[in-house]
Structure 1
Amino acid sequence: MSDDDHVDDGPGGGLTTGEVARRLGVAPTTVRSWDRRYGLGPDAHTGGRHRRWTPADVARLERMCALTATGLPPAEAARLARAGTPPPKTAPLPGPGPRAARPRDRNRTGLRLGGARRECRGLARAALRLDAVALDGLLSAVIADHGLVTAWTEVIMPTLQAVGRKWESSGEKYVEVEHFLSWHVSGALRRCVPAAPPVSPAPPAPGAPPGSGDRPGATVLLACVPGENHTLPLEVLTAALAERGVPVRMFGAALPVEALVGAVRRTGPAAVGLWAQSRTTASRPLAQHVAAMEWGVRGARRQPAVLTLGPGWAGGQAVPGLPRPPGLAEALAALEAVVPGDPRQGVTR
């Protein structure tokens, strides 16, 4: 247990810095920074190394959180928080009664988070403040605590969706918040999977495509279809596969048709995942063409298993005969059924 997590049960004891940070949904370093830079520390000081925060101290920090969430620069928000200025009122939520207008219904972030996990509030606050240090710490903690699948499904994705809804309803006012959050999520996904040790490639099988010598036919290829730039869902799938030892090649956003076909021919993957966020980018002919590709010697020809990933493949864009996993866990299960994990292998980007 760190000093910040120490609990003082003695008379006059208050909350520790760690407890305050958890209550506010910010990193302890953020609380210390606000104390050091803006004078928002405890009014009373106790002996020893441990800082103690009273309800009045915490209320001041809550005002700071609420004010920065409106877009105020931290220095100005701190001045108003010290003066006791309340945050501006948010528009009431639909529904009868005075409770609908309380900021708490939006978790004091201005974002509609509904019944999402409490960690979403911390991520939303850090993103709205454009607080890189806090955001990186919170993302790393939620992935470490819950694992990639749960962290993505129950914390990261609901927060991204809430920020996206805020952007859509506010014009371009919050576009920087969505970009900032997406960038840091991408970085957290890359950091959470350790680099794989080098493995001596096996000789390619007769008739196998060039570049497929390291476990021929046992690779997953992931790419966004042409015109599709939403890469985060594929990035989390890449990280989760790599974590399980499934060799994966990730090609990112808007891979042109010729490049996609060339990559499949060169690597001879056992499975191909094609991401389409929108129905306007999903292409049934492209998915069918990739699924029909073959390689290998006569009598032992192979074809990739093609998964259509993302909401763009729903409805009329669904490809008969090709699986469309509804979520991350289902996509992982489908790909691991085709390409079993090998702890010696890692991600290839």
Structure 2
Amino acid sequence: MRVRAGGSGLPLGDVRREARGVARASVRLDSPTVQHLLNAFVREHGVVAAWEDVMMPTLHAVGRKWQSSGDRYVEVEHLLSWHVSTALRSAPLLRPCPEPPPEAAPVLLACLPDEQHTLPLEALDAALRERGTATRMLGGAVPAEALTAAVRRTGPGAVVLWSQTRSTADSPLARRLADTRWGVRGARRGPVVLVAGPGWGHRALPGLPRPRELAEALTMLSRTGTGTAHARRSGEH
């Protein structure tokens, strides 16, 4: 149920009732209630609905309030972000999730060097794991050399690179990773590289799929067969 949210002091607009509850608890810095509400929504509705209908609207509202309040509400943003991350990482414990096939090539997720905004990538990781997709999450600000090494070591079927701001988007690095190959001679392969996040701007990057939202990223990755029994490694790296 969507309602005009009020009472939290945050500019939420037309949101679900659960988002209003999370906003009110966040403003009170009521950690137990924030975590309980987020966990309950993930358990009942799943990661995608939790991210799109509760987590993102509340996070955006806190961010807008912080920008218009002269550095106030920073503590609210930090508390809410912590509990959103906790709920996302706990998703496999909150809902039954199928186990990925042991031979499946994983999806490798990483923020580009100097990029610290991890929550959207954590949401994608949780949604993939909820579907039984094998993942390897590297988190924020992964150096270029470490990214290249991780691709060679894990043999991923796909790599998702997150950039929140233009200063962290690195097209040459994304293309270099897409050109990485491994496996035995005659059966070498490389990953599909998805570039995600507002830092990539509106420019087209041929050969690098660019999902605009969580559901679109899931659809793109499902089409590659990544993380399933059909995405097998071609050999040792």
Q: TM-score, normalised by structure 2?
A: 0.88
Q: CA deviation at 1:196?
A: 7.9
Which of 117, 129, 144 is the aligned partner of 2:28?
Answer: 129
Q: CA deviation at 1:298?
A: 2.1
Q: CA deviation at 1:109?
A: 1.3
Unpaired runs of at least 5, structure 2 = 230-237
Equivalences for 1:1-349 in 2 at 5 Å? Answer: 107-194=6-93, 214-215=102-103, 218-316=105-203, 318-338=204-224, 339-341=226-228
Aligned counterparts of 2:165 and 2:27: Cα–Cα separation in 1: 26
Contact 1:313 1:319 in 2 (8 A): no
Aligned counterparts of 2:227 and 2:91: Cα–Cα separation in 1: 21
Aligned counterparts of 2:17 and 2:98: Cα–Cα separation in 1: 37
Unpaired runs of at least 5, structure 1 = 1-103, 202-213, 343-349
Q: TM-score, normalised by structure 1?
A: 0.61
Aligned counterparts of 1:186 and 1:257: Cα–Cα separation in 2: 24
Aligned counterparts of 1:329 and 1:197: Cα–Cα separation in 2: 19
Letter in 1 for 2:210: R
Aligned-pair identity in percent equals 58
Answer 1 or 2: higher relative contact order, Cα 8 Å, separation at least 6: 2
Moved over 2 A (4+): 194-199
CA distance 1:220–1:105, shift in 2 (3 Å): closer
Contact 2:65 2:73 in 1 (8 A): yes
Aligned counterparts of 1:161 and 1:295: Cα–Cα separation in 2: 41
Residues 259-283 of structure 1: CA distance to partner in whole angstroms, max 9, x if unpaired? 0011011111110000011111111
Aligned counterparts of 1:196 and 1:262: Cα–Cα separation in 2: 29
Aligned counterparts of 1:111 and 1:127: Cα–Cα separation in 2: 10
CA distance 1:105–1:191, shift in 2 (3 Å): closer
**RMSD (Å), alpha carbons:** 2.1
Contact 1:277 1:311 in 2 (8 A): yes
Aligned residues: 224
Q: Which has the larger radius of gyration?
A: 1
Q: CA deviation at 1:106?
A: 5.8
Aligned counterparts of 2:216 and 2:88: Cα–Cα separation in 1: 19
Contact 2:4 2:14 in 1 (8 A): no
Contact 1:126 1:134 in 2 (8 A): yes
Q: CA deviation at 1:198?
A: 9.1
Q: CA deviation at 1:150?
A: 1.1
